[in-house]
Amino acid sequence: MFWDQFRSLVLVLSGSTNLSPESMTLWSGILAVISVNVVIVFYIYAAMKEPSDKYEPDPKFLADAKASIKQSGATDVDSSSDRAKNNELTK
């Protein structure tokens, strides 16, 4: 039932009632892409309209995240210096 309604919509939008199967496939794909783009634009618009100061981050989460970044920052420095040494050895 849905496909019959969809096919009639494609026929109305294309302006022809005697489309080949390839043309039907092409029009169906075009309509699918347009439909998805409309939904994406709606979500982007809704996200942009939402106030940014509405939500406050959890202080405990922020503290844990900062501690995690500081802890991983020390290992990143070590690994980057190891990479620099390896690059010098390969030259």
Higher pLDDT, 74 or 32: 32
pTM over 0.85: no
Q: Output the six-digit token pair for 37.
A: 């783009």
Which residues, other chains included, contact 10 with Cβ-Cβ below 8 Å and sequence gap of 6+? Answer: 19, 24, 27, 28, 31
Torsion from C-alpha of 21, 24, 26, 27, nearest 10 degrees: 170
pLDDT surpasses 90 at 16 = no
pLDDT of residue 1: 62
Domain residue extents for the chain: 1-55, 58-91
Q: Where are the beta strands (DSSP E) in the chain?
A: none
* Residues 12-43 as b or e (16 or more Cβ within 10 Å = b): eeeeeeebeeeeeeebeeeeeeeeeeeeeeee
pLDDT of residue 85: 59
Tell me what percent of the residues of the chain surpass a pLDDT of 90.
26
Of 20-24, 61-65, 85-89, least confident by mean pLDDT is 85-89
pLDDT tens by residue, 26-57: 888 998 999 999 999 999 999 888 877 777 87
pLDDT of residue 25: 87
**Hunting for tokens 């982007």 — which residue is that?**
44
